[in-house]
Chains A and B, each alone.
Chain A
Amino acid sequence: MNSSVGIDKDTDLMEIEIGPSHPAMHGIVRFSVSLSGETIVKMKAEIGYLHRAFEKEAENSRYIQILPYTDRLNYCSAIINNCGYSMAVEKLFGIHTPKRAEYARVIMMEVSRISDHMTCVAAAAMEVGAFTIFLWFIKAREYLWELIEDFTGARLTTSWTRFGGNANDFPDGFLDKLANHLIKVQEVIDECDKMATTNKIFVDRLKGVGILSKEKAISYGFTGPMLRAVGVAHDLRVADGGYSAYSDFDFEIPVGEVGDSYDRYLVRMEEMRQSISIIKQASQKIPKGSHITRNRRTSLPPKSEVYGSIEGMIDHFKLIMEGHTPPKGEVYVNVEGANGELGFYVVSDGSGTPVKVRVRPPCFNFVAAMADMCVGHPIADLVPTFGSINMIGGELDR
């Protein structure tokens, strides 16, 4: 856009630090920016302000003890992290989860995805000054978090999955409430759609901002909505047959055209609608069965067995004292996080603690590409671009 603006030879560039404490740098990050007038000529992203040593902690924790840490990766969609990590450990064990548990996971993952997209779109809207849209989305997110609270007992730090299933089955009256709240959420999405999508100022702020070409996006390792916004219909939920129970449902993968912030916004809005459709389909055909596998190597026996039989007692004792002991090996499991490919690489040496748990955070690549997307643009464009990549400090720095 303004890349034709040359640098005046006689003047110095203005070095300005944006962040780490800056209203637009949600989830702490710092950009060292050199400005010529209002145009960015140089930019460097500084990450690590939210580093919590997840991977190091994981080396010293039992498999199940790592699960609560995963809540804190992407705190907007904790359940997707829970599921991703559990799926990795399940693959290590080579066990399958019951169909009912998979359906519950899909429903809750999609609820989380909507809430994550909502947070992203809301924050991006707020950053271009549409504070009302922000609060409307936060209101809708509240409905979703009520659902999550009903199911898992926690709003944010769910720690809900277990190896081979989930902590609990659907609570009473959950599906009615789900259907009810989805209608309300749909209303809010439509309302915000009317308010923003065709708003001239909103479109002008986002169109042509933060563009990255298809080739560059792929070479940066973009995934998720960011990759779909440049026009690549890649979604791990359907790629290679999908994971969990996603192959049972019909849904579309929205793709953008040019890959600017506006396309990302549209992709996210459409994905929210698709997620609602997935939840509706899933809640209509939930199979009967157990919410967790009966494999005693991974799941605790019910209390009646623990106190009533010698085998139950020993299973319980072994799991509590030694932890889960998956066979030796290494796995990589990637799920479609709300931001993109969320991967867990788990190495086991057969003991109760993993040798390594490595997380592939989707937004790491996006932050790396920030400089490419922003240089040459005015400083006012940095904010919507940053808003559209949906950087989550928790998973970026781990």
Chain B
Amino acid sequence: MLELLINPYIQTILKVIFLIFLVVLPSAALLTLMERKWSALIQDRRGPGRANIGKFTFLGIFHILADGMKLALKEDFYPAGTNRFLFTIAPYFGFFSAVTLFALLPITSPLGNFTFQIVDVNIGILMILAYMSFSIYGAVLAGWSTDNKYGMLGAVRASAQMISYEVFLGVSLLGLLVVYNSLRISDIVAGQNEYWFNGLIPKWGILTQPIGFLIFFTAILAEMKRAPFDAPEGESEIVAGFFIEYSGMRFALFFLAEYISLVGMAMLISTLFLGSYHFPWLLDAGFKLGSLPLVELPQWLVVFLRFITFGGKVLFCCWLIISIRWSLPRFKFDQIMKLGWNRLMPLGILNLIITILVTLLF
């Protein structure tokens, strides 16, 4: 039995199952509730809290269940004039691209030989970008297959926006690659646990690449089609954009993919720019601040603390993205493109040049 667990293939399968059923789906479901509760708080409302089992509402947690059931029990409906094949497969693209992201990101440091990361490939960042671009197909096919003009407009907007913002996403990451000198995620993570000034200030991505972080964060919001960049869904203009005709479980897939990718993107931001699972001054052996003596900690505790740290960072990023959504109006579509090509692109290239110069000189 124990031998089976040591087998790397079995380990990977177990990790995937653990990740999808215990991390991805629950966190996405809880995020829907978190978003509703937090937006309610911002807007002076109470938010969901009616669904109950007996007397218990548990802060509205049963709403997840109720929503899920409602969507699952809906009629499997195809509007007239749809291309059924494309209509059916379109939601899975977004879902796939959102879920696969998790395979590449470590959630805490290795315990002995066991890594808390499904795969650590040497082209990690490229794979992440590749997976992310996959979700465009979902949006385009969904909008196009429904034979709806609003859907078509949404699909065109979505494809233009996502393809452009992928460019800025890549450009913003170039600086990071120069700084940490690797495409491998674990190298970037390890690089963020090094320190300036004799162990005082950690070399987190946000400190080594502040401009890169801003561009990356903006591009991530646009890539997720999240407010203020939700012109492809533009509720008040093109109603729901590319998924206007979707209902029931197929709609739920879009919805779930949005929240899964929200968690995924929050994890990505934390991993690349917020020091991943590293807590400042918490080294593998223990706690060490500057030139003060080392406070030794057992390895399992360090791993656990790092897991908590990572969770906290991801939650913070989710909270930030949600707060932005509920406090800003929506960009107009041409403004999104202008912001991207006229501001973010030159800024990203400038950032890259500065980064290269600084790296070469110092």
Contact = CB atoms under 8 A, between A and B. Distances in A.
A380 B229 CA distance: 13
Contact of A130 (B149, B238, B328): B328
Given A24-B236, A136-B43, A380-B237, A128 B231 contact: no
B151 to A, nearest CB: 11
Interface stretch (A200-208, A251-259, A345-353): A200-208
A125 interface: yes
B37 interface: no
A201 B328 contact: yes
Interface string B138-179: 000000000001101100000000000000000000000000
Given A126-B236, A130-B328, A380 B231 contact: yes
B43 A379 contact: no
A23 B44 contact: no
A60 interface: no
B43 A378 contact: no
Contacts of B228: 129, 201
Given A14-B149, A16-B149, A38 B333 contact: yes
Interface residues of A, number: 32
Nearest to B335: A204
Nearest to A26: B236
Given A131-B43, A132-B326, A201 B331 contact: yes
Interface string B319-335: 00000001111111111
A154 interface: no
B237 A383 contact: yes
Contacts of B326: 131-132
Contact of A380 (B42, B44, B328, B333): B333
Contacts, number: 83
B239 interface: yes
B231 A125 contact: no
A231 to B, nearest CB: 26
Nearest to B338: A204
A129 B227 contact: yes
B45 interface: yes
Given A129-B230, A131-B43, A380-B231, A201 B330 contact: yes
B237 A139 contact: no
Nearest to A387: B236
A131 B40 CA distance: 11
B153 A38 contact: yes
A382 interface: yes
A90 interface: no
Nearest to A15: B149
Interface in A96-140: 125-132, 135-136, 139
B234 interface: yes
A378 B334 contact: yes
A195 interface: yes
B333 A128 contact: no
A303 interface: no
Interface in A194-253: 195-196, 199, 201-202, 204-205
B187 interface: no
B236 A128 contact: yes
Contacts of A16: 149-150, 153
A129 B329 contact: yes
Nearest to B157: A38
Nearest to B150: A16
Contact of B327 (A22, A132, A139, A383): A132
A296 B71 CA distance: 63
Interface in B215-274: 227-228, 230-231, 234-239
24 contacts: A14-B149, A14-B152, A16-B153, A23-B236, A23-B239, A38-B153, A38-B333, A126-B236, A128-B329, A128-B330, A129-B228, A129-B234, A131-B39, A132-B42, A132-B43, A136-B44, A195-B327, A201-B328, A201-B329, A204-B331, A204-B335, A205-B330, A378-B332, A383-B237
Interface of A: 2, 14, 16, 22-24, 35, 38, 125-132, 135-136, 139, 195-196, 199, 201-202, 204-205, 378-383
Given A16-B149, A132-B42, A383-B237, 12 more contacts: A23-B239, A38-B334, A128-B330, A129-B230, A131-B43, A136-B44, A139-B44, A199-B329, A201-B329, A378-B332, A379-B238, A380-B234
* In the complex, the 6 A-B pairs of residues with the closest C-beta atoms, listed nearest first: A129-B330, A135-B43, A130-B329, A127-B236, A24-B236, A129-B329
